[in-house]
Amino acid sequence: MPIKCLICGNRSTGVHYGVVSCEGCKAFYKRGQTKSLSYKCYFGQACFEDGIKSNRCKACRFQKCVQVGMNLQAPKRGRRTKERAFTISELGACHRDPNHYHSSVYNDKTGGRFRHIAPAGGGGVVASSTAISVITPNPGRDLLSLSYIRPFVNSERAEAISLLRNSGSFSDFTRIEIDRTPRAHMRWIDPYAQKNCLDYREKVMSDENSRDMPEFLGDYWKVIQQKGFLVGESLKVVEDAVKVIYGEQLTTWNEFMREAIFCNNAPKQPQCSLAEMLQAIRDSVAECQRKGTRFYFLLPGFSDFTQEDQKILLTEKWSETWLIVHSPYLWRGETYYWIGERNRQYHYCQYWMRQVLHPSHIAKVFSLSEDLNAVKLTVVESFLLLAVATFHPDLTTAKNKPFLTFLYGHYMDCLLQSIRSRCNLSEQILLEKRLRTFMKQFRSVYRLGNFYVRSLDFSGGLPFRAIRDSVVISVEDALTTSDDGLPSLESSSVMVA
């Protein structure tokens, strides 16, 4: 019967530095002598609480080493013959209270929480509840919870960090106050927008289209003349809105992701109970809604819709908002952001995502995020893209199509203007190509949000299922529904390509 490592629970190979431990923890402790200062825990120093054994958090692992009494100067206990082997109690002699680690206590303490330990193996989505049993039927499974995850190499880190959208200085975000009222700008967007149905996007509109609508040309050009100023003003407003509403969150999340990835502490383990996490998710959704609503009302144009259309847009565009805000923090199958109320924030890691969402839903979200990240927009640009997606006249049931079309074009201009002001020509061309590619997925995002996410039954079991007309539907169903109440692709009034 091999004795388990007191730090990680792995098979021990004897006493190392005064503690019954495995080869890994031995080497880790040794290495930590010069490096432990740079270790940092992101999860409340609880990663190595009884029952949770994760070698993924170096800070907690090292802390645990020290806690159980590892000591470089620990005396060697010499060797014994087989007849006079060390007894278990002798082996435990170095520790504070041997009973503390007794298996029964160990399992009692973990109780219901044990099931939240992530199975690192690929297959299982939810950790199987092997809780109370002391001897596991399949000893190999023990190692699963320890399965090594290669730390990121620098090139990967650079890639991850590049997702953190460039925004000049994030750190200043929280300190900047906007002194403009967005309504002021709408005063002169309005006259054009409300009276005329103008698609004034010079870049997007093809020559053929302009031939088809010669009667608008007069007004069109009037708008064009003012467009430069209009675009500039909207850019400023959006930038300020992003800073005021999302600045702090972006700063925090960026810092978190950066540190998590650069300190090799990829967070993969739960830090709280399911109930706590569900509450955190609810809080987070509410907060995201709140922020999104604030953003929309600061977005020039939005407040000029009827209350009914505003409500529709706020409801229907939840998915878009979520994606724009979160995509930089989804990377390589893991998430890197905090959720929950300020005083109790948790890392919404993929483990939890898998608890509550269907795998194909997760896959779709990651896939969309990846595509969006690949476009490589700045923060402000990504929110301009949100505006574009929001006002796409074909992808909402809001009624004021002319104004939607106008704003869609306007924010498209803003976005392109921003891109062009920071890229050289060849970069522009590539970026705009990637942008067009991503925009083809607008409809998928809309469908995912409105036919799948909005159908989720939060009263049922985990993971939540989407139910429409008393029938469970899959992500695929939602994405391919022919009955989306929107204009068909063919008759689209806006050319995206």
Partner DNA sequence: CTGGGTCAGGGTTCAGT
Partner DNA sequence: ACTGAACCCTGACCCAG
Chain positions contacting its own copies, by CB under 8 A:
18, 30-31, 33-35, 71, 73-78, 90, 93-94, 118-121, 123-127, 153, 155-156
Strand partners, 4: 11
Stretch that binds DNA, among 28-36, 173-181, 349-357, 386-394 (CB under 7 A): 28-36
> Residue 342: which of Zn ion, DNA, its own copies, none does it interact with, CB under 5 to 8 A by kind?
none
* Residue 112: CA count within 13 A, CB half-sphere: 4
- Report the Cα 94 to chain-centroid distance in Å: 43
With a CB cutoff of 8 Å and minimum separation 6, the contacts of 218 are none
Nearer to DNA, 216 or 262 (CB): 262
CB-based contact 496:439 (threshold 8 Å): yes
Note whether 495 binds DNA by CB under 7 A.
no
Residue owning tokens 């995502």: 353
Note whether 25 binds DNA by CB under 7 A.
yes
- Report the Cα 343 to chain-centroid distance in Å: 20
Strand partners, 15: 20
Note whether 127 binds DNA by CB under 7 A.
yes
| Subset of residues 257 to 316 that bind DNA, contact rule: CB under 7 A | 264
3 state DSSP class of 411: helix
Residue 317 to residue 475: CA distance in whole angstroms: 17
* Max Cα–Cα distance, the chain, nearest Å: 103
Note whether 80 binds DNA by CB under 7 A.
yes
Note whether 9 binds DNA by CB under 7 A.
no
Residue 449 to residue 479: CA distance in whole angstroms: 10
Q: Which two tokens stand for residue 233?
A: 């003003």
Residue owning tokens 């090594």: 148
> Residue 93: which of Zn ion, DNA, its own copies, none does it interact with, CB under 5 to 8 A by kind?
its own copies
Which letter, b or e, does each residue of 280-294 get, where b requires 16 or more Cβ atoms within 10 Å of its Cβ?
A: bbebbeeebeeebee
Give how far Cα 223 sits from Cα of 186, 202, 208, 210, 417, Å.
14, 11, 20, 15, 16
Nearer to DNA, 128 or 136 (CB): 128
| x/- track of binding to DNA for residues 225-244 (CB under 7 A) | --------------------
Q: How far is the CB of 490 from DNA (least distance, A)?
A: 44
Note whether 58 binds DNA by CB under 7 A.
yes
Q: How far is the CB of 129 from Zn ion (least distance, A)?
A: 15
- Report the Cα 15 to chain-centroid distance in Å: 42
Q: How far is the CB of 89 from DNA (least distance, A)?
A: 14
Give how far Cα 194 sits from Cα of 156, 222, 396, 415, Å.
48, 15, 18, 22
Q: How far is the CB of 339 from DNA (least distance, A)?
A: 27
Candidates 36, 67, 107, 130; binder of DNA (CB under 7 A) is 130
Note whether 3 binds DNA by CB under 7 A.
no
Nearer to DNA, 150 or 175 (CB): 150
Q: How far is the CB of 212 from DNA (least distance, A)?
A: 47
Note whether 129 binds DNA by CB under 7 A.
yes
Q: Which two tokens stand for residue 64?
A: 């645990």
Q: How far is the CB of 60 from Zn ion (least distance, A)?
A: 3
Residue owning tokens 């708008």: 223
| x/- track of binding to DNA for residues 81-110 (CB under 7 A) | xxxx--------------------------
> At 461, which helix (H) or strand (E)?
none
Q: How far is the CB of 436 from DNA (least distance, A)?
A: 26
Note whether 166 binds DNA by CB under 7 A.
no
Q: How far is the CB of 56 from DNA (least distance, A)?
A: 8
Stretch that binds DNA, among 78-86, 202-210, 232-240, 380-388 (CB under 7 A): 78-86
Cis before residue 463, ω within 30 degrees of 0?
yes
Enumerate binding residues for DNA (CB under 7 A).
Answer: 8, 10, 13-18, 22-28, 30-31, 35, 55, 58, 72, 74, 76-84, 127-130, 132, 146, 148-154, 264
